[in-house]
Amino acid sequence: MITSTAISSTGSTAPPVAVHRVLTGQKALVTGANSGIGKGVAIALGQAGADVVVNYVEDDDTANAVVDEIRKSDVKAYAHKADVSSEDQVAAMLARMTQEFGTIDILVNNAGLQRDSAFHEMTLDKWNKVLGVNLTGQFLCAREAVREFLRRGVVASVSSAAGKIICMSSVHQEIPWAGHANYAASKGGIKQLMESMAQELAPKRIRVNGIAPGAIRTPINTVAWDTKEAYDRLMTLVPYGRIGEPADIARAVVWLASDHSDYVVGTTLFVDGGMTLYPGFATGG
Ligand code: BGC
């Protein structure tokens, strides 16, 4: 049993919780796993007993550091550089994984980015980049994983399901976001992609679910929390009164990847401190 704690500097702490080895023997791929939410997820999957592939697209050192951290849990891990929006690179990544680990049981479709812009100034490059990584990347990785799940089928000693896919979405699959039309569109797309896959693949015992994080303390949104003023403004949007930590999301992923959630299919789990409760309406409307 391993305990994980996330300590924050700006007034919030994700409580320490015991991580049990509920994923022993399973093989997981986490995309975008060298920083932010993906890093927290990859480490937690290792703590839960899974062998983990750490996908990343730049900065070898950070990816290797995550691998070292995962190996402390006595599981296997390696880093694999690949752009999830490239069909060839994704196919090669999954081919290597099935060679090195034998198969894949868990895909965490996490890689994502923002390229913010006022709508009238948004370039096609910014649009294509965000849709390419956030949405097409999830499609390509899921398609390769599903091909392997279908080939292998259920191995009852490993899991009740033939495979699990967890799609990292955002509260912005629901909440419109001015200045971020490309990002919000990608997350709305992820919702429909996830649900359509879930409907189609459930009869094959493949479980597809989503997680919609709210404001999590990661490099993607530093401007939203790195000064007291920004943090206080952010808190007007979070009823629970603290920013989320990668560990908050990682625990949800471990649960969705495990047989503890075996009857959960096609659901988006919002992990957002109540952001989607529209706190402005607590006193207005
Ligand atoms: C975005 C963050 C933002 C959060 C809440 C996330 O999906 O990536 O930048 O802080 O949503 O708005």
pLDDT at 107 over 80: yes
pLDDT on residue 143: 99
Residue listed under structure tokens 């929390």: 225
pLDDT on residue 195: 99
| Predicted confidence (pLDDT) per residue in 193-216, tens digit | 999 999 999 999 999 999 999 999
Instruction: Name 229's Cβ contacts closer than 8 Å, sequence gap at least 6.
Output: none
pLDDT at 9 over 70: no
pLDDT on residue 11: 54
pLDDT at 164 over 70: yes
The alpha carbon of 213 and the centre of ligand 1 are apart by a number of angstroms equal to 8
- How many CA atoms does the CB half-sphere of 208 hold within 13 Å? 26
pLDDT on residue 6: 40
Question: What mean pLDDT comes out for the span 23-39?
Answer: 98
Q: How far apart are CA 229 and CA 199, in angstroms?
A: 44
Q: How far apart are CA 284 and CA 73, in angstroms?
A: 49
Determine the residue type at 59. Answer: D
Which superfamily does 2-281 belong to? Answer: NAD(P)-binding Rossmann-like Domain (3.40.50.720)
Q: How far apart are CA 163 and CA 155, in angstroms?
A: 10
The alpha carbon of 221 and the centre of ligand 1 are apart by a number of angstroms equal to 6
pLDDT at 34 over 80: yes
- Edge-to-edge strand order for the sheet containing 27-30? 77-81, 51-56, 27-30, 106-109, 163-168, 206-213, 268-271
Residue pair 212/173 in contact (Cβ under 8 Å)? The answer is: yes
The alpha carbon of 29 and the centre of ligand 1 are apart by a number of angstroms equal to 23
pLDDT at 43 over 80: yes
Q: How far apart are CA 280 and CA 134, in angstroms?
A: 29
Q: Would the CA dihedral through 162, 107, 194, 6 be positive or negative? A: positive
Best residue for ligand 1 mutational test, from 169, 216, 234, 271 (most atoms within 8 Å of Cβ): 216
What are the two backbone dihedrals, phi and then psi, of residue 175, each rounded to the nearest 5 degrees?
A: -90, 120
- 36 within ligand 1 shell (Cβ under 6 A): no
Catalytic-role residue among 56, 183, 240, 278 = 183
Q: How far apart are CA 91 and CA 175, in angstroms?
A: 33
pLDDT at 275 over 60: yes
- 214 within ligand 1 shell (Cβ under 6 A): yes
Polymer length of the chain: 285
Q: How far apart are CA 242 and CA 234, in angstroms?
A: 9
Strand 2-7 to 13-19 pairing: antiparallel
Q: How far apart are CA 162 and CA 263, in angstroms?
A: 13
pLDDT on residue 4: 41
Tokens of 213: 């994080």
| Predicted confidence (pLDDT) per residue in 236-252, tens digit | 999 999 999 999 999 99
Nearest partner of 86 among 162, 148, 144, judged by Cα: 144
56 is catalytic: no
